[in-house]
Amino acid sequence: MARTLINDTANVTFKRKSDGHVIFTAEAQLASISQQVSEEKLKGGIGNRTIALLRSDKEVTLQVRNALFDFEWLSMTQGVAVEKGKEATVWKREDSLPVVDNGGTLEVTIKGKPLNDEIKLVNPKGESIDADVLEKVAEVPTSFAKKGEKISVSYQEKIVGNVLTMDAQKFSEAYEVEYATIEYDPDTYQVVADLYIQFDHVIPSGSFDMSLENGSALAPELSFEAMTSGTSTEIGRFIEQERSADTP
């Protein structure tokens, strides 16, 4: 078809080859492909002119950056599946809890369920002490805080959630990857075609950086090495489908 304009990133679909598990993103900020080929000039003759160009070692690297954090993305770097509904122990913190006088005894009330009914109190001076909780109420020593002051409480609590294990003996698995984007007519700016880019065998890099910075959205980025599979020499393919009235 005629020349078109591509002005968008791509939706990306990952399919884990070991079990067919599919990970899909519609919030990609970047979906790039980089190809490198080793080239060596063959010289000869009078003047040592270039006779031929020897080419080999085609390498294709994919880079995908997502706008939103996705637990499944992180699982690709670890080579393990996300375990849903698993029990874990975590630290909880409650801040600005008022100290109240209950018949001459200073108390603070919490919302959570501390493990073994044990908590740690932190007063406005930054001092901390251990305390026990009975029915979500803990006694506060008069030497530690005064009535009306607000203190913090930290404790361990059992929760149920999604767990992703970082295992030193497991590494990222092989995936099939497909990019899907759209092509525009440069004159009318109507969508005229869908472009699919497929890779049959890619390995996510096990290296990643995760920085949690105040005021900055976490945009996870992963890189992949595309390879051939089995005896095939194909690394991937571009597929262009023209739009019609029946195209969904």
More confident residue, 1 or 213: 213
| Residue 16 host element (H or E) | strand 11-16
Q: Are 225 and 233 in contact (CB under 8 A)?
A: no
> Region 117-137: what's the mean pLDDT?
95
Given a cut of 90, is residue 212 above it in pLDDT?
no
Q: Which of 84, 75, 59 is nearest to 14 (CA)?
A: 75
Domain extent listing, the chain: 5-82+165-242, 85-163
Q: What percent of the chain has pLDDT over 90?
A: 78
End-to-end CA distance of the chain: 20
**CA-derived radius of gyration, the chain:** 29
Given a cut of 90, is residue 220 above it in pLDDT?
no
CATH architecture entry for 5-82+165-242? Roll (2.30)
pLDDT tens track for 6-56? 999 999 999 999 999 999 888 889 999 999 999 999 999 999 999 999 999
Helices (H), 101-221: none
Instruction: Among 8-22, 62-76, 81-95, 97-111, name the one with the lowest average pLDDT.
Output: 62-76
Q: Are 190 and 180 in contact (CB under 8 A)?
A: no
Q: Taking the CB of residue 2, how many other CB atoms lie within 10 A of it?
A: 8
Task: Specify the pTM.
Answer: 0.80
Q: Are 206 and 169 in contact (CB under 8 A)?
A: no
CA atoms within 13 Å, Cβ hemisphere of 8: 19
CA atoms within 13 Å, Cβ hemisphere of 94: 18
**128/57 Cα distance (integer angstroms):** 62
pLDDT tens track for 148-160? 999 999 999 999 9
